[in-house]
Amino acid sequence: MTSHMDAWLNFVSKEKPASSHTYKEICDLGVELLFNADSFKQIAEAPSTSALFDVLRTHISPSSPHLLSTLPFLMAAFTKKRRSLPPSGGSSVTDANSLAMSFFSSCEELLHGVGDLHESQVWHSRLGLLKVVEDESVFSSRNEKTAVILKKEVTACIECSASVYGMFLW
Amino acid sequence: MVKCSKVTWLSDDSVQIAVQCLCVLSRIDHDLVEESTGHILSTFPSVLQSPPGNSLAIPAHEFLSLALSFHTKTRTLPIHIFRLMDSCTVPPSHISSLSIRASYDGFVASPAFSLSHLNKLSMAMRTFITPGQTLDTARQVLVVLQGIWERFRDMERKVAADHGRGSRKKRRTSEGSANTGREDVAAGGVTFMLAARIATTVLTSLPLHTIPETEQAKVKTAVRESATGFIRDAILAGTDVTVVESQDDGRDAWATQVVAAAALRLRYMLEMSGHARYDLGNQNDLDDLAAAVLKVDDCLPEYGVEIVSSTHWDLA
């Protein structure tokens, strides 16, 4: 899968999600290969240094900003796949949501890595990721760590909107 | 407090998406954005001066609705009202890129001051302000508006004094400094005009029928005192600057007319409010105002409209 990752991500980024049956099959197949018990365990232990994000960092870079559009798709697939697995070892819905937020946080690190040169694609991707958080209801206000993650998003949004008219505001 | 933050000039598209992100974050859990809502609202009037203002207006409207909805559910509308009034503070043009006059239409048309938002705010006020919040809200709104008026008046006096008139010793200032002063006055005038729009909506929508008569009387007294106090002063300042305008006194007739028009509008709406039924008493300011609008050709259009409206109402 690793050797085909670049081609798969490019395919996912170029096709529209509902464009064809073949598109859906290829996406699903990639999701099946990417997200399994091992990858969930790695992401749970150290999301940023997991094999999945190592691969993503290699392919989603400033030279390929169009691949940023795949991050919301990956997060939605990750969240649904994790929920579809039977609970094991005392894991719960709360754990699954917390894991999804770890995935979100690691995606944010990727966005920062791409930098300001492609800020439009970065913001489109950020919006997509937040919509996944909303649609999949993975945020819990009782989890302080995830609240901190999303409050950083608020700060980034305010800095962006304040920057359009100059250098005022607190 | 004004502070220069990290500035990266971002594309208009990015700013629109950033405001959309704030809406999503609010829908996820409004508590995430609640602490920052004041800052967010403060960015809207200026953000909407940018070229893609129209596209930004849609998510900005949505964010305003989300914030209003949150505060109606939590019965904390006064917090939202005072944040809206704080957000009226217009940055002087010397720290942005357009003159205040050039930006004026954009400020007036920004989402927080649109008819649709003010209608929503009015409906929320009538239903969700609690009896215990009514009197304090009325008083505080008037205090905030009076503070804005006094800051405007002080800035105007300072500019006039720097120009060689008024109580301060005459002195020459550089042209740049004089322009900066005039822009500060213009910004202060527009700030008053915007805040008066929020104040008008709030004061004419207070659910006075839900509070005891003694409390109602206190609200009406507070409104009447303001109407015969600083609101009257603001109206008369417009008359003064229009009738005896001198090209050389350093005063900004445009800014003063903006303030006077807003004060007239506020007074007119308070008097005409069938909901709150304020009695402001008779004032003889309108004769002077009618005379002023007849004599001056380059009167600010909305000032003329407000004078005619008030005069018409006075004759009715």
In a domain, A130, yes or no: yes
In a domain, B1, yes or no: no
Of A119 and B95, the structure prediction assigns the larger pLDDT to A119
Tokens encoding B47: 């953000």
Q: Determine the pLDDT at residue B304.
A: 76
In a domain, A170, yes or no: no
Q: For A39-91, how does the pLDDT look when each residue is reduced to its tens digit (9 = 90+)? A: 888 888 888 788 888 888 888 877 888 889 999 999 999 999 888 876 665 55
What is the average pLDDT across A103-123?
85
Q: Which of A124, A153, A167 sits opposite B17 (nearest CB)?
A: A124
Give, to the nearest 10 degrees, the angle between helix A144-163 and helix A119-135. 140
Residues 96-115 of chain A with CB under 8 A from chain B are none
A163 close contact with B: CB closer than 8 A: yes
Domain count of chain A? 1
Residue B279's φ and ψ, nearest 5 degrees, are -115, 110
Q: Determine the pLDDT at residue B174.
A: 58
Chain B contact probe: residue of A132, A157, A170 with most B CBs at under 10 A: A157
Coil, strand, or helix at residue B278? coil
State the residue for tokens 């005038």.
B189
Domain count of chain B? 1
Q: Which residues of B142-181 are buried (b: 16+ CB within 10 A; e: fewer)?
A: bebbbebbeebbebbbbbbbbbebbeeeeeeeeeeeeebb
Write down how long chain A is: 170
Q: For A1-24, how does the pLDDT look when each residue is reduced to its tens digit (9 = 90+)? A: 667 888 888 888 886 656 688 888
Q: Determine the pLDDT at residue B253.
A: 82
How far does the CA of residue A18 sit from the closest CA of chain B (Å)?
A: 23
In a domain, A43, yes or no: yes
Q: For A131-165, how does the pLDDT look when each residue is reduced to its tens digit (9 = 90+)? A: 999 999 999 888 888 999 999 999 999 988 877 65
A149 close contact with B: CB closer than 8 A: no
Q: For B85-106, how does the pLDDT look when each residue is reduced to its tens digit (9 = 90+)? A: 999 988 776 555 667 888 888 8
In a domain, B118, yes or no: yes
Query: Which among B220, B49, B201 has a CA at the least distance from the CA of B125?
Result: B201
Q: For B53-78, how does the pLDDT look when each residue is reduced to its tens digit (9 = 90+)? A: 567 888 999 999 999 999 999 999 99
Q: Which of B11, B28, B46 sits opposite A165 (nearest CB)?
A: B46
Q: Which of A119, A162, A170 sits opposite B14 (nearest CB)?
A: A119
Residue B277's φ and ψ, nearest 5 degrees, are 55, 60
End-to-end Cα separation, chain B, in angstroms: 46
Contact check, Cβ <8 Å, A167/B19:
no
Q: Which domain holds residue A65?
A: 2-163
pTM across the whole model = 0.85
Residue A167's φ and ψ, nearest 5 degrees, are -120, 40
Q: Which residues of chain B have pLDDT under 70?
A: 1-12, 46-54, 93-98, 163-179, 240-251, 275-276, 281-298, 311-316
Q: Determine the pLDDT at residue B203.
A: 96
User: What 8-state DSSP symbol labels residue B291?
Assistant: H
Angle (nearest 5°) at CA A154 between A151 and A157: 155
Write the CA distances from A34 to A18, A39, B41, B137, integer angstroms. Answer: 21, 7, 42, 57
Query: Which among B216, B188, B198 has a CA at the least distance from the CA of B224?
Result: B216
- Residue pairs between chains A and B whose CB atoms are closer than 8 Å: 128
Compute, in degrees rounded to 10, the torsion defined by CA atoms B116, B118, B122, B125.
120
Chain B contact probe: residue of A75, A155, A160 with most B CBs at under 10 A: A160
Residues B157/B166, Cβ–Cβ less than 8 Å? yes
Contact check, Cβ <8 Å, B7/A166:
yes
Q: Which domain holds residue B233?
A: 47-315
Tokens encoding B7: 């500035």
Q: HSE (CB half, 13 Å, CA atoms) of B102? A: 10
Residues 45-84 of chain B with CB under 8 A from chain A are 46-47, 49-50
In a domain, A169, yes or no: no
Q: Determine the pLDDT at residue B50.
A: 56
CA distance A71 to A56: 9
Contact check, Cβ <8 Å, B32/A150:
yes
Query: Which among B271, B136, B138 has a CA at the least distance from the CA of B198?
Result: B138
| H or E element at residue A116 | none
In a domain, B12, yes or no: no
Write the CA distances from B293 to A54, A115, A120, B257, integer angstroms. Answer: 72, 57, 50, 11
A161 close contact with B: CB closer than 8 A: yes
A82 close contact with B: CB closer than 8 A: no
- Rg over alpha carbons for chain A, rounded to the nearest Å, is 16
List alpha helices for A35-92, DSSP H: 37-45, 51-59, 70-84
CA distance A145 to B168: 57
Which residues of B are less than 8 Å from A147 in CB distance? 32
